[in-house]
Amino acid sequence: MKKLLLLLLIIFTAGKVCAASPINVDYNDGIYHIVISGEKIKKQIQFISSSSLITNREAHFKNNSLLTINTGFFDPQNQKTISYIINDGQTIEDPIFNENIMSNAVLRQNMKKILNRTEFRILDCDSKLRYEIAQHDSKVDFLCSVQHSAQGGPQLLPNLRLEEEFFILKDKDGNVLRESASVLHKTARTLIGLKTLEGGEQEIHIFIVTNEHPMDIYESRDLCASYGLDSAMAFDGGSSTSLNYKDINVVSTQEKGDTGRALKSFMIIKKK
């Protein structure tokens, strides 16, 4: 009887050990690489925002999150969004209501580009969840609806969309007149992409590029391409770049002991 119980215990324990984790995190040369896989975890992912700016760490513990990263752009002056955020099928952040965008002549002339920047979506397709990276105005497939999404930009893969999403503005001779989000400079980055495996299963790949290995947007695109991602995009970066997972607490502000920049929106993976 004791041998039987011991055998059952070994089988049960081995099953738990061998079970693949839906979240895997690697760190190398200043870059955290997070891979999220499996069907069950799709129901745990949400995009949220805060009425007042809070740190990634605050959002992480406030929402009882397993993993939290920063997402959309925002205006630190009025604490309003520059990116669309959708949660549970409802638009909870809309840049149209940010008066600082509307009152800026240059931004107002390029509103269509700004509002149509790339977003990461979780779609409900006839009760089956799947991921998508697309421009905000892109229509979803028949029988699908956007359950959760966070906008950022620019799109990195399959094509880099700097001018199309108004991250750079050039004159007629090709000279850069305006740059947003330090896309042409080396800085910390929050990147997210998708990889389709055999059988159609999707993996989320997140790269938290820290100040230990800062990248410009071209290097960010090449990093995503080196992992064979089908599509990829950037979220807000620089001092906004943040990650909380288990004992990992990444903030990209330079001051020692800083708890991180106060932010507007986040991607969270809820605990079961």
Q: What is the pLDDT of residues 36-85, one digit of tens each?
A: 999 999 999 999 999 999 999 999 999 999 999 999 999 999 999 999 99
d(CA 203, CA 196): 6
For residue 126, is pLDDT > 70? Answer: yes
Average pLDDT, integer, range 130-139: 98
Q: Which helix (DSSP H) or strand (DSSP E) does residue 112 occupy? A: helix 111-115
Average pLDDT, integer, range 132-157: 97
**pLDDT given for residue 15 in this prediction:** 46
**Average pLDDT of the chain to the nearest whole number:** 93
Residues making up the chain, counted from first to last: 272
DSSP, collapsed to helix, strand or coil, labels residue 55 as coil
What Å distances lie between residue 30 and 67, 123, 211, 246, 272, CA to CA? 19, 32, 7, 18, 30
d(CA 185, CA 46): 30
pTM summary value: 0.92
d(CA 53, CA 49): 9
**pLDDT given for residue 16 in this prediction:** 45
Percent of the chain with pLDDT over 70: 92
**pLDDT given for residue 259 in this prediction:** 83
Return the biggest CA–CA distance within the chain: 84
DSSP, collapsed to helix, strand or coil, labels residue 128 as strand
